[in-house]
Amino acid sequence: MFDNFPRGTICIEDIEMGMTRHLRKQVTDRDIELFAEVSTDRNPVHLDDAYAHDTIFEGRIAHGMLTAGLISAVIGEQLPGHGTIYLGQTLKFLAPVRPGDTVHAEVKVVDIDHSKRRVTLDCHCSVDGKKVLAGEAKVLAPSRKFD
């Protein structure tokens, strides 16, 4: 048996259809600035109020991948959790996330292949009940058993 997973990690043996996990995070100016620094994406629509005001968004927005990163956080920290390996992710950006918005990121198990340890998760993020991101993740879940 391999039982060294942190509390909260859900191994493939315990994952069930319909399981969900989520987090909420307020996106701050600092988050956007740090993401721009780390990613090197310094598009002024994210960083410059005057520039962003004259765009279709009429103001600054967070990087779409910053929002998508919240999905990664739910997967890597909660469902399945530590030891999970990302195999793929689809994303559709449906609406902008603005500085100060609180994002609700949620994943739900929609398919399980226990023999291959593969899990498919429906993923979405919303702000004030409105979906801003939707997609699907495929992951390799941790197991208590050695391969």
- Predicted confidence at residue 147, as pLDDT, reads 47
pTM for the model: 0.92
- Predicted confidence at residue 1, as pLDDT, reads 36
Q: Which of 50, 27, 38, 10 is nearest to 125 (CA)?
A: 27
- Predicted confidence at residue 8, as pLDDT, reads 73
Each domain of the chain, given as residue ranges in start order, spans 18-140
List the chain pLDDT tens, one digit each, 147 residues: 345 555 679 999 999 999 999 999 999 999 999 999 999 999 999 999 999 999 999 999 999 999 999 999 999 999 999 999 999 999 999 999 999 999 999 999 999 999 999 999 999 999 999 999 999 999 999 998 854
Spell out a b/e string for 11-49, using b for 16 or more CB atoms within 10 Å of the CB, else e.
bbeebeeebebbbebebeeebbeebbeeeeeeeebbbee
Distance CA 80, CA 69 (A): 16
- Predicted confidence at residue 146, as pLDDT, reads 55
By CB atoms closer than 10 A (0-12, 13-18, 19+), residue 97 is buried
In CATH, the number for domain 18-140 is 3.10.129.10
